[in-house]
Amino acid sequence: MYCNGTNIRDIAEKRQIKESTIWKHLANLIEHNQVSVWQILPKDKIYKILHRIYSKKNKLKDIKNRLKNTTITYNEIDCVLSSVKSKKRGK
């Protein structure tokens, strides 16, 4: 639904689940190469987050602290980190 243009809030309302659940599903799909992080987030946010991920074992809180950017959410960080994990998984 998200890839077809429905936003997170609307999906959550239609499915009667929390927005955080939708984000977790997206991160899981990204990690298993079923959807690309580039389809989910704007390029500028992805690049900002990528530059603050030093290892696929980084904790979300540590990455968030390194970003020092209040406009980037933990959910967005989780999606980018899932993308990094998916690339490591393939190797």
pLDDT in tens, 34-82: 999 999 999 999 999 999 999 888 999 999 999 987 899 999 999 999 9
pLDDT in tens, 1-37: 777 788 888 988 999 999 999 999 999 999 999 999 9
Tokens matching residue 41: 């987030």
Q: Which uninterrupted H or E stretch holds 81?
A: helix 74-90
DSSP-based three-state secondary structure for 8: helix
